Structure 1
Amino acid sequence: MKMARGVAVTILIVAIAVMGVFAYQYLMRSEPTVTLNGAGATFPFPLIDKWASEYHKIKPNVQVNYQGIGSGGGIQQHIEKTVHFAASDAPLTEAQASKAPNTLHIPITIGGVVVIYNLPGISKGLKFTGEILADIYLGKITKWNDPKIVAINPNVNLPDKPITVVHRSDGSGTTYIWTSYLSDVSSEWREHVGRGTSVNWPTGLGGKGNDGVAALVQQTPYSIGYVEFTYAKTNNLTYGYVQNAAGEFIEPSIESFSKAAEYAALTLPRGDESWSKVSIVDSLANNTQAYGAYPITSFSYILVYKELNVLPNMDEATAKALVDFLWWAIHDGQSYAANLYYVPLPQNVVAHNEETIRMITFNGQQLFRR
């Protein structure tokens, strides 16, 4: 009798498990398959790519397709309404915002742009000031053993070799961050080149994307370039320390990026207001008390329209899936940031993003009500 009861209980448990599997499969079939198309910055590409993979495990019916084509390309596709969302390390300028009215800015992570170089026999930690970096990119400092570089690196045997300058060839938010920094530290750079996702470079070779710059520096002895930190780490490139306004030579790291975010005296606008003046780099430029802060640190943003029915072929299911993904990205998605050398968003920025995401509508109806 006991054996019969045991067999019956076992059969019941198996039956419940099988029914659960069939119920789950039925629910998955009942949910429409949705593809969310995005494009833009290569700066956050490793993180967004990880999100796409992890989110698909949770929501098998949702596929996130993100193409890292550079911030300039992402902004253009956002303006042309050919993607569901774009990513950019540069906030929209006033001119761009006028072409894409009712755009929302959603900061998704914080990272740093680092100086990478290929000097045979010399490891990471070469020191740079902002003035030296500007003069290298202006073509004024042309040799690795220039007296200005030697003076702050007295224990390094710098070679008598020409510096090969590498920069981005595409419209790039990483370039925007880099040229913002050079504009802050060098009046000559500010007056003759300026800041932007694309500039008229005084010298150097162009590489497409962060990965293209990383590869070009890796292949070219005696070269120098700039990339988002994770590309330097994953490609095992040597990188420099940069002097901040407090006079310290700071190693790029999650900790020094976090310090930068803490010291940045930023008042974030509403998600649907102008973000053209928001800049961690600018906020730190003259902060002589920002000890431990890496000076070339920035937000990266996702750009979406406040009213999603402005996008051709957008339907309610896709709109709802997009909003759910964005909510997940600013919450659970932040747990993947540190392992990819990004800084998880501070809680006050997460709360700010929550209010922005609640603004998103489809046909006038709020999509997220939590």
Structure 2
Amino acid sequence: MKRCIVFSTLLFFLASPHAFAQPVTPTTPIVGSGASFPFQIYSIWFLLFNRDNKGIEVRYTAKGSGGGIRDFQAHKVDFAASDAAMSDEEIAQVKEGVQLLPMTAGEVVLAYNLDGIDELKLSRQVYSDIFLGKIKQWNDPAITHTNPDVTLPEQDITVVTRADSSGTTYVFTKHLSAISQQFNRGPGYGKKVHWPAELKRMESKINAGVASTIKQTPGAIGYIDFGFAQLMHLSTASLENKNGYFIHPGLESGQAALAEAMIPEDMIVRLTDPDGDKSYPITTYTWMVFYKHYNDPKKAEAIRRMIAFYLDFGQKLSYRFGYIPLPQNVVEKVKIASATIR
């Protein structure tokens, strides 16, 4: 039903007339690549922007945050998208300068495949231990303790992780490293990590691949963005947050987490373990990455127009596709920062 509502909404917007500025030029391509985490909302934004700006065509390949950053550094694209903000070392390699802009936000959820079980609570210790390979079966006492009214099967846990260099992996492992000293010692955090050998594990590329693998694998659990979990009709666990409350992912719990974060001047904010009774514990901004200086002034102008569209009309669509609209104070900061793109 949710999927039908989403696509009905999309058809409504595609059929609706909008009065936007005239095209910059008959042929202004804007090419990007990177994160799959925000791909559902980005693909809608690109489609609508292209429709209303006939002289500009945005093309985007979802290949994972790491691939997008590599393309950006190699000047193969006009912009990248990443769930992991570029490091100072990565930025230093780009002579044109780099402007990171948070464009939307979302939640990394633990989606699972357990027949007949639609509600599941996982404590911080439990979901850390699952991805450390210390908890191997669904009826482990540590899981049943927080789910006394659920009959959990005597079934092996299959963990599904990303096969590619992934910002979603970075966000998830950064969180696990913040709440588990053992996880911080190893695997640690990064866009790609060495998972414990004792894990019964499968891997897939991009968020859509992980979601499909979970759906096809009884007993599976994996980390994906909330939007893909909704699209694939996957069950998602309520996770224990920093204040000890079990919180289900959704618009309100994501907004509560964002409310705890201050945006610095460089636009890089990391919500590794947000405070707040109602905050979902794995919430993140996701960035688009631009050069500060482009050789073509018309392309720079088109990019600024594109950003303005996403900050205005685009944010109104975010929640319909499982993402969190930027708070208004963040929108204003991003508008100011985007003026550095020339």
TM-score by length of 1: 0.83
Q: Percent identity?
A: 37
- 1:32–1:317 contact (8 Å) kept in structure 2: no
Rg bigger for which structure?
1
| Aligned match of 2:39 | 45
Kept after mapping to 1: 8 A contact 2:111/2:235: yes
Instruction: Give the partner amino acid of 1:340.
Output: F
Partners of 2:53 and 2:37 in 1: how far apart?
25
- 1:319 Cα deviation from its structure 2 partner: 2.1
Mapping of residues 137-286 of structure 1, within 5 Å:
137-202=131-196, 203=199, 204-264=201-261, 266-271=262-267, 275=268, 278-282=269-273, 284=274
Task: Provide the rounded CA distance (Å) in 1 between the counterparts of 2:215 and 2:171.
Answer: 22
Q: Does 1:330 align with 2:311?
A: yes
Q: Tell me the amino acid that sits aligned with residue 209 of structure 2.
A: G
Q: 1: distance between equivalents of 2:193 and 2:123?
A: 21
- In 1, distance between residues paired with 2:126 and 2:88? 31
Q: Give the Cα separation in 2 of the matches to 1:360 and 1:150.
A: 53
1:1-370 correspondence runs (5 A): 31-101=25-95, 102-123=97-118, 125-202=119-196, 203=199, 204-264=201-261, 266-271=262-267, 275=268, 278-282=269-273, 284=274, 287=275, 290-309=276-295, 315-361=296-342
CA distance in 1: counterparts of 2:263 and 2:317, whole angstroms: 26
Secondary structure of the residue aligned to 1:201 is coil
The alpha-carbon distance between structure 1 residues 267 and 335, as it changes in their structure 2 partners (threshold 3 A), is: closer
Deviation at 1:73, TM superposition (A): 0.5
Q: CA RMSD in A?
A: 1.6
Alpha carbons 2:247, 2:279 under 8 Å: kept: yes
- Report the Cα distance in structure 1 between the residues aligned to 2:303 and 2:339, rounded to whole angstroms: 12
Letter in 1 for 2:180: S
| C-alpha distance in 1 between matches for 2:263 and 2:321 | 27
Q: Cα deviation per residue 1:200-258 (whole Å; 9 max; x = unaligned)?
A: 11132111000000000001000110100000000000110001111110010011100
Distance 1:170 1:100 in 2: 23
C-alpha distance in 1, partners of 2:139/2:211? 23
Indicate if the aligned counterparts of 2:272 and 2:282 stay in contact, CA closer than 8 A: yes
**CA deviation after TM superposition for structure 1 residue 53, in Å:** 1.1
1:156 partner letter? V
Q: How many residues align?
A: 318
SS at match of 2:272: helix
Q: Aligned partners of 2:93, 2:147: CA distance in 1, in Å? A: 47
**CA distance in structure 2 between the aligned counterparts of 1:329 and 1:262, rounded to whole angstroms:** 21
The gaps in structure 1 that reach 5 residues or longer are: 1-26, 310-314, 362-370
Partner of 1:13: none
Structure 1 letter corresponding to 2:145: A
- For residues 115-174 of structure 1, give each alpha carbon's deviation from its aligned partner in whole angstroms, at most 9, with x where no partner exists: 000011211x20112221111111111010111001001111111111011001111111
1:66-125 per-position Cα deviation (integer Å, ceiling 9, x unaligned)? 1110001011111111100000011012322222352111000011000000011211x2
Q: Distance in 1 between matches of 2:43 and 2:30?
A: 13
SS at match of 1:280: coil
Amino acid at match of 1:357: S
Runs of 4+ residues deviating >3 angstroms: none
Distance 2:173 2:259 in 1: 22
Q: Secondary structure at the match of 2:259?
A: helix
For residue 267 of structure 1, report the CA deviation from its aligned partner. 4.0
Deviates more, 1:315-324 or 1:332-341: 315-324
What TM-score does the superposition give when structure 2 sets the normalisation length?
0.90
Whichever structure has more helix as a proportion of its residues is: 1
Are the aligned partners of 1:41 and 1:88 in contact in 2 as well (CA < 8 Å)?
A: yes
Distance in 2 separating the partners of 1:175 and 1:220? 20
